[in-house]
Structure formats: structure tokens, C-alpha cells
């Protein structure tokens, strides 16, 4: 890897440090891994046509040995993931706050690699489960790799990393029967929650709509921990990192999420992959919250507590740049699966705080990669390799790719003029922030960490009425799966400290004892936490268009054109694949049948119909419409479709009908942008 590589993206959109590793096999001869051309790949080398296979068949042994070792251990958590490449552009220089070069020069385009994931499930689990989502970003900067390893929820279950194994053991399938997969609705998880009440705030997020995102493209990301930004003068600020999706933050409804798990367990990765292939590049703006070190104790929360957030109304988010994901991986294993992230991968100008959960992660991540990727050289895999050169005296080990020249591999030395040599701060050498520390060695936590319910109540207070109802339903579902009556009651009593209304709501649903006392005096709220206040756009929304032969060709074409101009993605649904012909000869290619497509994979439906459609067509389309209606999705109808909706009593908020195609398309687009219509009365 030459010293002349830079943090830039070439004209084909491919980051240069990976280019030399890409191989196109099409049109090439078959060879062994040593490059020897192979003359036969169908038959083993045998002693005679019907004799035993010979040991000297090196091609067979190489091929089979490699196959036997194709799988590496999956991640203990975050096993189910999908990733993409992109670039980060800086809007405003942060030179005032940090000496990190990629956060100073607004002309720099920094290559990035982002992996999204679920936490609880195995590598083969479904994707729309109720769970936190990983949001890990690797910046390939000229000063080295910087990994921002976060989640789509800004807080965590625990305050100290020593409890992480306990949390995961409780969350994972129960060891006596290996059930349930990718789900928290079982006894051991909720027993952990009730007996580790620092989890209260995270549980509120996990029971909210945030835990079932509509798309990875419509999901916030958070660094979770408090870090430090340090400028060239050595002055530090506490910082929290945010990723804000340009499309807004949107979610599924629970019934829809469960059905998608069965209909398309790859729903989220398919959505991300197809969006990038279609040129609808996912975009996220980077935001930072900054607190002066001298203001550390001026808040009603501890800035180092990972179960607490910094309310945006008190500590505003400063938007400083944008990340665009513009290229899918070429090989999921080589890139997504072998990607190794580490919160300790930092660059000059970014440092750590004493958050005890972060401190533990700084050890754990390296330890994990050693076992999963087979040794200490995981940084040499193409996806993990920095774009800047690296020089040190570390040698050998499993998977070593670098061929180090020379006789010296130690420091200090004279034979190589004492090189490689440390760099001074002026030369770009990393220096840790000189924080003054004193205290006794002790196993305890700060008193300021012991308030477990105030911010859980703040989150509850910040929710809209539909969001609150969804949280009650989520608790009711999860605890309804718990067999232990004692655990159920413990959770009810615990969350009475957050909100009596909440606790009573799910206590009644599971026939637990409704608490008489409790409640919270916290009245503070943060409107930024409610998805009701998110960005709402029609762009990239999937619109299922139900048509049969004989539809009004010219008028339907006009509506579809208008929808596409607004960035939506109309897809044709009918009873059979092929084409459907309109009354004027217009033809539409069918992309989904009632059998292969489901209403749950669309954001909205446009019901057109046609002439002389049979009873089966009507029944199938009615099922589509009623299910979408029950999920509060926007539904539009023109021509025959209007009569269908009237016959089925489908009306109310978000249901748009019209005979004037131009005004209909405009009104329907507004309804699509709204995402859900919670004030609709179900029929």
C-alpha cells in the first residue's frame, strides 16, 4: 500500500484503498488460490474411473478445505447486519473545537463505510423485529480510521460495561430451549430489567416506535457516549454525535413489522440495497452537541451517564456535515462481515470521557475481533485497512499480509536510525487529553448516576398520544409473553415510577395488580424526541398501484407521472404478471401479484381497478386495502377504485379520492408524506 493514497473517492465512486483487491471473475480461467490454471473442476483425481480419490489431488483438497472454513464466528451481538459505502462532506469547519483534519476542511470528501444491524438476533434472523439497531460508521481519514460506533437509540440499558455480559445473556434466547430468536419478549430479559432498574430509560425507547424503524434510511443514529473534542490549543469540549436522516425518522406499526418478518425477512437490507441501486442515495446529516468542560455539572443529569441523553432544547444539535451512501458492497462477506469497528479507533482531536460503559468498550471490541477474525491482523483486511500508510514494529500472526522489509522490528534501535519513530504533536502524533485525576481505587458508581426514572419520564412526556398508546401496547405484548407472574408484577411496579398511566395500561392488559402509588413529578419534555415532529417527505415512498385491464389509461398515466415527479416509487400490482392494458392501449408492466406482493411492503396504495374484473380480483385487492388501512397508511383511489372504497367503508383521514387527476395527485402526495394517519377511525 503506497504512501501516496489520499482520502478521496475516484470518479467511479470507489474508494481507492479497496480497488486493488477487487477481482472480476467473469471471462477468466479457473485457477487455484496460488494462480495455477485448473483443467478440470467436475471430478476428483482417482485411481481408475471407479477407484478411490488420491491424496495428491491438491485442487480438491484446497477447494474443500476452503469450503470447510468459509464461515467465521458470527458477532455475539449485532450479528445481523448490512452495509454500504459512501462519503462524508463537511458543511462548517469545527476547527474551533477539534484538530481532527476531516472536521476542519470543508473541501475534503472523506470515504465512509457504514454497517447497520440488529442487536439480539443471530445472523439468519429477521430484520423488522423490535430491537435497537446498530449504526456504525468508519471514516477513512488521512490521519487514520475513525470509527463512530453507535445505535439508533441515544442511551443504553446499563451504566457500566461489567454488566454487559449479563444484559446479553438475559436478552439472548434462553439457554434451556434456545428460544425465542431475536426477541426480548421472554422471562429472562424482563427479569433482568426489573432487577437492574438503570435500564428504565432504554426500555422506554425500546418499547417505542423507534425500535421498529420503517427503513434504515429513515433512522437516526447516535454515538450514545460522551466523547471529547480537543482543539489545537488543547481546549476540550464534551460532545455527543448525532446522525439525522434527511428523509426524517419513521417507523412501522407492530402488526406490520411482524408480518414483514414472515413475508420478507430481508426487508431492511433489500430497501437499502435497492435504494442505492436506484440512485436514491440515503443521506444523514452529522450533528454535534457540545458542552464546555466548566459546565459539566450545570445540568440535572450526569453528562457521563450512558443511560441519559442531553435534551436538544437544552443543548442544541449543531448540524456540521452530511454523509451520503452511494455504493453497495461488492461482496457481503469480504466487506460487511469482515468489517471490524472499534470505538477506540480515533484520530487527533477526538478523545474519550470517563463514561464507564465507554471505558469497557475500549477493551471489549479488540478482544472480540481477535477471536472472530482469527488473530491480530484484522486491520489488514481490505475493508478495515486505513487509507493512510501505517508503520510499526508489530509483526507476524494469523492473516498477516504486510511484507515488512529490513532486519529491525523493535524500538529503540540504531540500525534503522531509530525508526519508525514517534511523531510529535506538531507532526500529527496523537496525544491524550490531560485530564486531572485523583481518587481511591473503588468499585462503586457516582451518586449522580442513581436517578433511573427522571429521563424515562421525560421520554414518556415527550411522546404524542398515538406514540404513548403504542408504548402501552408494546409493554402489553412483551409482558404478555412472560410466564412468570412475579416478573410481570415487578415490571409493573418498576414502571409505575415512570408513569402511573403507563403502568396501569399494561398491568390491566396482562391482569397484573394495578399499582396504587408511584408516579412521577417530572413534567419536563423534549419535543425533539417525538417522531410526530420529524421531517415528512414523499420522496422514495413505495406506492402500490392496483390495476386491472381496461383502466383509464391517459388519466392514470398522468397520476403516475405526477407521483414520480414528487420522488415516490409507484409499483404495479395485479392478479397476474405481464402487462395490463388500459382503455386507450396504454400498457403497464405488473411488478407484483396479490400472491407475491403484500400491502405491508408498501407505504401507501393507489387503487385504480379496471373494467369487468372478476370476484377474485376484487376480494384480493380488498384484502390489500383493508390491511393497509388498518396500518394507518395513506390510500388513494380514482375511477373504479372510488366505488370499491365506498363499498368497503374505507374513508377518513389519509383516504384521498378524486376525479380531477391533477388535484388528486397533489392531495395524495401530501397524504403520502404524512406517513401515517393516526386519527383515522377504524371500521
Relative to beta strand 592-593, strand 569-574 is: parallel
CB 190 within 8 A of CB 486: no
What is the number of other CB atoms lying within 10 angstroms of the CB of residue 329? 21
Per annotation, catalytic residue among 151, 384, 461, 497: 151
Name the grid cell of 340: 471490524
CA distance linking residue 196 with residue 157, whole number of Å: 9
C-alpha 444/C-alpha 159 separation (Å) is 11
DSSP for residue 639? T
Give the Cα separation of 304 and 310 in Å (integer): 10
Contact 12, 22 (CB under 8 A): no
Within 217-354, residue ranges assigned H as helices are: 254-263, 267-277
Assign 3-state DSSP to the chain and report helix, strand, coil percentages, each to 5. 30, 20, 50
Question: Hey, which CATH number is domain 453-532, 1.10.599.10, 3.40.640.10, 3.90.1150.10, 1.20.1370.20?
Answer: 1.20.1370.20
Query: Which residue from 284, 384, 282 is spatially nearest to 328, judged by alpha carbons?
Result: 282
Tell me what pLDDT residue 5 has: 36
Q: Coil, helix or strand for 210?
A: helix
The answer to whether residue 151 is catalytic is yes
Residue 577 backbone phi and psi in degrees, to 5: -75, 170
Instruction: Give the span between the Cα atoms of 476 and 207, in whole angstroms.
Output: 10
Is residue 615 within 8 A of residue 645, CB to CB? The reply is no
Query: 118 with 130: CB under 8 angstroms?
Result: no
Per-block mean pLDDT, blocks of 10 residues, the chain (683 long): 39 58 83 86 86 86 83 93 98 97 95 98 97 98 95 97 94 96 98 97 98 98 98 97 98 97 97 98 98 97 97 98 98 96 95 93 88 91 92 89 90 90 89 86 88 98 97 98 98 98 97 92 97 97 97 96 97 97 96 96 97 92 95 96 93 95 97 95 51
| Cβ–Cβ under 8 Å, residues 286 and 241 | yes
CB 535 within 8 A of CB 238: no
Contact status, residue 597 vs residue 544, Cβ threshold 8 Å: yes
For 522, the grid coordinates are 417530572
* Nearest in space to 347 (alpha carbons), one of 94, 8, 114, 87: 94
**533 assigned to active site:** no
Model pLDDT, residue 6: 35
CATH 3.40.50.880 occupies which residues in the chain? 536-673
Query: Tell me, what's the pLDDT at 49?
Result: 85
Q: How far apart are CA 373 and CA 386, in angstroms?
A: 17
The class that CATH gives domain 536-673 is alpha beta
Q: Are 578 and 590 in contact (CB under 8 A)?
A: yes
Beta pairing partners, 286: 243, 321
Instruction: Give the CA distances from residue 536 to residues 246, 255, 532, 533, 540, in Å, rounded to whole numbers and listed in that order.
Output: 9, 22, 9, 9, 12
Half-sphere exposure of residue 669, counting CA atoms within 13 Å on the CB side? Answer: 21
Write down the pLDDT at residue 13: 44
Active-site hit among 78, 85, 470, 592:
78
58: left (phi over 0), alpha (psi -120 to 50) or beta: alpha
The reported pLDDT for the residue numbered 439 is: 83
Q: Which three cell numbers stand for residue 37?
A: 490454471
pTM, full prediction = 0.93
Cite the residue boundaries of each domain of the chain with CATH code 1.20.1370.20: 453-532
Rounded distance, CA 374 to CA 370, Å? 6
In CATH, the architecture of 1-30+71-152+213-420 is Beta Barrel (2.40)
Q: Say how far apart CA 1 and CA 389 lie, in whole Å.
A: 7
Cis peptide before 531 (omega within 30 of 0): no
Q: With CA atoms as reference, report the closest residue to 6 among 141, 146, 156.
A: 141
Q: Give span(s): CATH 2.40.180.10, the chain.
A: 1-30+71-152+213-420
CA distance linking residue 635 with residue 599, whole number of Å: 11
Q: Distance between CA atoms of 476 and 498, rounded to whole angstroms?
A: 16
CA distance 601 to 621: 15
Q: What is the DSSP letter of 618?
A: H
Burial class (CB in 10 A: 0-12, 13-18, 19+), 369: buried
Contact 115, 201 (CB under 8 A): no
Structure letter (DSSP) for residue 31? B
Give the separation between CA 400 and CA 387, rounded to whole angstroms: 18
CA torsion, points 552, 554, 555, 559, in degrees to nearest 10?
Answer: 120
Q: What does the DSSP 8-state code read for residue 453? A: S
Amino acid at each position: 500500500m503506497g504512501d501516496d493514497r489520499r482520502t478521496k473517492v475516484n470518479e467511479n465512486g470507489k474508494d481507492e484503498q479497496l480497488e486493488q483487491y477487487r477481482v472480476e471473475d467473469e471471462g477468466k480461467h479457473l485457477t487455484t488460490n496460488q494462480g495455477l490454471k485448473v483443467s478440470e473442476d467436475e471430478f476428483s483425481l482417482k485411481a481408475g474411473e471407479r477407484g478411490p480419490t488420491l491424496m495428491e489431488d491438491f485442487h480438491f483438497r484446497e477447494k474443500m478445505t476452503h469450503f470447510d472454513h468459509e464461515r467465521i464466528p458470527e458477532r455475539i451481538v449485532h450479528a445481523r447486519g448490512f452495509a454500504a459505502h459512501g462519503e462524508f462532506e463537511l458543511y462548517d469547519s469545527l476547527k474551533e473545537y477539534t484538530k481532527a483534519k476531516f472536521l476542519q476542511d470543508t473541501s475534503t470528501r472523506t470515504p465512509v463505510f457504514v454497517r447497520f444491524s440488529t442487536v439480539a438476533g443471530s445472523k439468519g434472523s429477521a430484520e423488522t423485529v423490535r430491537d435497537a439497531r446498530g449504526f456504525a460508521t468508519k471514516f477513512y481519514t488521512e490521519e487514520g480510521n475513525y470509527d463512530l460506533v453507535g445505535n439508533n437509540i441515544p442511551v443504553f440499558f446499563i451504566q457500566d460495561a461489567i454488566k454487559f455480559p449479563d444484559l446479553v445473556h438475559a436478552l439472548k434466547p434462553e439457554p434451556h430451549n434456545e428460544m425465542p430468536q431475536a426477541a426480548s419478549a421472554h422471562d429472562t430479559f424482563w427479569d433482568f430489567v426489573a432487577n437492574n432498574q438503570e435500564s428504565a430509560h432504554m426500555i422506554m425507547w425500546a418499547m417505542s416506535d423507534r425500535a421498529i424503524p420503517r427503513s434504515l434510511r429513515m433512522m437516526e443514529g447516535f454515538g450514545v457516549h460522551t466523547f471529547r473534542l480537543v482543539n489545537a490549543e488543547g481546549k476540550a469540549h464534551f460532545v455527543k454525535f448525532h446522525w439525522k436522516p434527511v428523509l426524517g425518522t419513521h417507523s412501522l406499526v407492530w402488526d406490520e413489522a411482524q408480518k414483514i418478518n414472515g413475508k420478507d425477512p430481508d426487508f431492511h437490507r433489500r430497501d437499502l440495497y435497492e435504494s442505492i441501486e436506484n440512485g436514491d442515495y440515503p443521506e444523514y446529516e452529522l450533528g454535534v452537541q457540545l458542552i464546555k468542560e466548566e459546565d459539566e455539572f450545570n445540568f440535572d443529569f450526569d453528562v457521563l451517564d450512558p443511560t441519559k441523553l442531553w435534551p436538544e432544547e437544552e443543548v442544541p444539535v449543531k448540524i456540521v456535515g452530511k454523509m451520503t451512501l452511494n455504493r453497495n458492497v461488492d461482496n457481503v462477506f469480504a466487506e460487511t462481515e469482515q468489517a471490524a469497528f472499534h470505538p477506540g479507533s480515533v484520530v487527533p482531536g477526538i478523545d474519550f470521557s470517563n463514561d464507564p460503559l465507554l471505558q469497557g468498550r475500549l477493551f471489549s471490541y479488540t478482544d472480540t475481533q481477535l477471536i472472530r477474525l482469527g488473530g491480530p491482523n484484522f486491520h489488514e483486511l481490505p475493508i478495515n485497512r486505513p487509507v493512510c500508510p501505517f508503520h510499526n514494529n508489530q509483526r507476524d500472526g494469523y492473516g498477516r499480509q504486510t511484507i515488512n522489509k529490513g532486519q529491525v522490528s523493535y524500538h529503540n534501535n540504531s540500525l534503522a536510525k531509530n525508526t519508525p519513530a514517534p511523531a510529535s504533536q506538531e507532526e500529527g502524533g496523537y496525544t491524550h487529553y490531560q485530564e486531572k485525576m485523583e481518587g481511591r481505587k473503588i468499585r462503586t458508581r457516582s451518586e449522580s448516576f442513581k436517578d433511573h426514572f427522571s429521563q424515562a419520564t421525560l421520554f414518556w412526556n415527550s411522546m404524542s398520544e398515538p406514540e404513548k398508546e403504542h408504548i402501552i401496547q408494546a409493554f402489553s405484548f412483551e409482558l404478555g409473553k412472560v410466564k412468570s407472574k412475579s416478573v410481570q408484577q415487578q415490571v409493573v411496579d418498576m414502571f409505575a415510577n415512570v408513569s402511573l398511566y403507563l403502568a396501569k395500561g399494561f398491568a390491566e392488559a396482562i391482569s397484573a395488580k394495578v399499582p396504587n402509588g408511584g408516579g412521577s413529578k417530572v413534567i419536563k419534555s423534549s419535543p425533539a424526541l417525538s417522531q410526530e415532529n420529524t421531517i415528512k417527505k414523499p420522496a422514495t415512498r413505495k406506492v402500490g398501484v392496483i390495476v386491472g385491464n381496461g383502466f383509464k389509461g391517459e388519466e392514470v398515466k398522468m397520476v403516475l407521472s405526477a407521483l414520480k415527479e414528487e420522488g415516490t416509487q409507484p409499483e404495479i400490482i395485479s392478479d397476474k404478471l405481464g402487462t395490463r392494458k388500459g382503455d386507450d392501449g396504454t400498457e403497464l408492466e405488473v411488478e407484483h401479484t396479490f400472491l407475491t406482493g403484500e400491502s405491508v411492503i408498501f407505504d401507501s396504495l393507489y387503487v385504480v381497478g379496471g373494467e369487468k374484473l372478476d370476484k377474485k380480483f376484487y376480494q384480493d385487492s380488498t384484502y390489500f386495502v383493508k390491511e393497509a388501512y388498518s396500518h394507518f397508511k395513506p390510500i388513494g383511489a380514482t375511477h373504479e377504485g372510488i366505488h370499491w372504497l365506498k363499498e368497503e367503508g374505507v374513508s377518513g383521514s389519509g383516504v384521498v379520492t378524486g376525479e380531477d387527476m391533477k388535484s388528486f395527485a397533489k392531495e395524495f402526495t401530501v397524504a403520502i408524506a404524512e406517513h401515517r394517519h393516526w386519527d383515522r377511525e377504524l371500521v
